[in-house]
Every structure is written in C-alpha cells, then in structure tokens.
Amino acid sequence: MLHPKIADVSATRHILKTFGLRASKRLGQNFLIDSNVVKAIVAAAEISAGEEVLEIGPGIGTLTQGLLEAGAKVTAVELDKKLPAVLAETLAGYENFKLVQGDILKVDLAELMPAPFKVVANLPYYITTQILLALLEKKLPITKIVTMVQREVAERMTAAPGSKTYGAMSVAVQFRAEVRVAFDVPPEKFLPKPEVTSSVVVCDVRESPVEVADEEFFIRVVRGAFGQRRKTLANSLAGAGFQREKILQALAAAGISAERRAETLSIEEFAKLASVL
C-alpha cells in the first residue's frame, strides 16, 4: 500500500520509535490509534471532495490521513517543531496537504483561510476552550467545527438553561453555533491513554447568530452574570462591576426577574439584557 494506515497502535508506536519521539504531555499529545474513530470523525464532518479543512494539531498525521483520503484540502497548524519532519514522511505523496508550524492561537487565520472552511481536530485538551472560543469569536468563514474534546467540556458546550453544566461557555458557543455531541470515545482509543473519556462535538456555525448590538459587551454581561453562580443575577452583575441601579432598570426593561440566577436565562434573554443594559 502506498499509504499505510497511521490510525493503528503498532503503526503509531513504530512512527514514534523511528523518529525517536515520545508523546508530549505538555502539548496534550494523545494520538488516535483506531481507524474507526477516524472514519467516524470524518463522517461527522461530512467532507466532500475539494473542501477546505483546517486541522488543529495534526500530530503524526492520523486524522489528517482520514481527511485527505476523503478528498479534503487540508491546512494543518501544529505547534510541535519535531513533527513537520514526521508528517513529511507519514503523509508523503498526498497532494492537498499544507502544514504550518506554529501556535493556533497566534496564527493569522483570516489570512491563512480566506475561503469558507471546516475545522476538524482532535484538540490538545490543555487549551480546548481557548481555541474554540477564539475560532467562534473571530468571525472567520467557518461553516462547521468537528472536534474531539473532553466529555466534561462537551457537556458544558451542549448544556441547556437550567442544567448544572450550563454556563458562560455554553452561551458563548451556542450563541454562534448549533451544537451536538456526535459520539463518545473511550481512553483506549488513544496512545497514550488520556485520563478521561472524550466526546466528538459537532458545531454547525449559524449564518446569522442571535442578534446582539455589541458582541464584546454581550460576552461581558454573560461572564459577569455567571461570575458568582449561586447569587441572583442582580447581585452577580453588581459584583462584576455593573451599577446596581442600571442593572435593576435593565432587568425590568427586559422583563427578567432580578431574583433569577444566570443559569436559568436563555441566550435570547441574555441578548435582550445586554442590549438594554
């Protein structure tokens, strides 16, 4: 075979050994070793031939290979300086692959990915939230994000108002995208095994997000409201630096009781509150 499958435990061990590498804990390296998981992620991303995909953290090329086999044009951003040499070997011969060595939080994505694209990634868990929020807040032409995250993060991303895990992260993500968990992935599917179960989450980016006049201010209100979960809205917003009188007026104007807690508010209610505040 021209391209031996990377998503396999012995292939992964062999590649790491050949290049004298060890998975770096600091960089959140847990390599996928199951080709069915790779296939399922690619299927969840609904890749069609020639489609532009941004992959974050290609590692040794495991998921990248699945995306390329499905016909995607993959641009991958990898922080680890040792991996370009590995990828040059493991993905040799695939034409539609471009690698950028650098930090995904520092790369100019607007310049790198000017046309509509999907994001597909098995994210490094130490910066999952930062990466997702940065992708969603930057107003890039992203249509879909399919990512492996810790199950606990997936629960927060998909939580509905009133549930224990509903928080600023749920609002910030759901405000921009329709989010669902596609499937769970147990630790055994990675080398080395992570300590927790993972989930693949699909975010379909909304063409027109919930209407808010000033997004930055909206997020400030959401963060402030969830700042002290146990307190009422009026108290937690006051604790976050908003003037109590203004808060009470705004809550009344938005038809929201000052006694309610942030975790009971829908995204539309947060939007209304931010616009009158």
Contact residues: ligand SAM, CB under 6 A: 27-32, 56-59, 62-63, 77-80, 103-105, 122, 124, 127
C-beta of 176 vs 189, nearer to ligand SAM:
189
- The least CB distance from residue 41 to ligand SAM, in Å, is 8
C-beta of 56 vs 168, nearer to ligand SAM:
56
- The least CB distance from residue 121 to ligand SAM, in Å, is 7
- The least CB distance from residue 193 to ligand SAM, in Å, is 12
- The least CB distance from residue 73 to ligand SAM, in Å, is 17
Amino acid at 64: T
C-beta of 105 vs 253, nearer to ligand SAM:
105
Q: What tokens does 227 get?
A: 């700042």
C-beta of 63 vs 247, nearer to ligand SAM:
63
C-beta of 124 vs 224, nearer to ligand SAM:
124
SS3 category, 204: strand
Euclidean distance between the first and the last CA atom of the chain, given in angstroms as a whole number: 63
Q: Any bridge partners for residue 200, and if so which?
A: 148, 183
Q: Let me know: does 205 contact 234? Beta carbons within 8 Å.
A: no
Q: What is the DSSP letter of 183?
A: E
Q: Let me know: does 152 contact 201? Beta carbons within 8 Å.
A: no
Closest residue to ligand SAM in the complex (CB): 57
Q: Let me know: does 233 contact 260? Beta carbons within 8 Å.
A: yes
Query: For the CA atoms of 216, 219, 221, 227, what is the dihedral angle to 10 degrees?
Result: -140
- The least CB distance from residue 28 to ligand SAM, in Å, is 5
| DSSP-based helix, strand, coil % in the chain, nearest 5 | 40, 20, 40
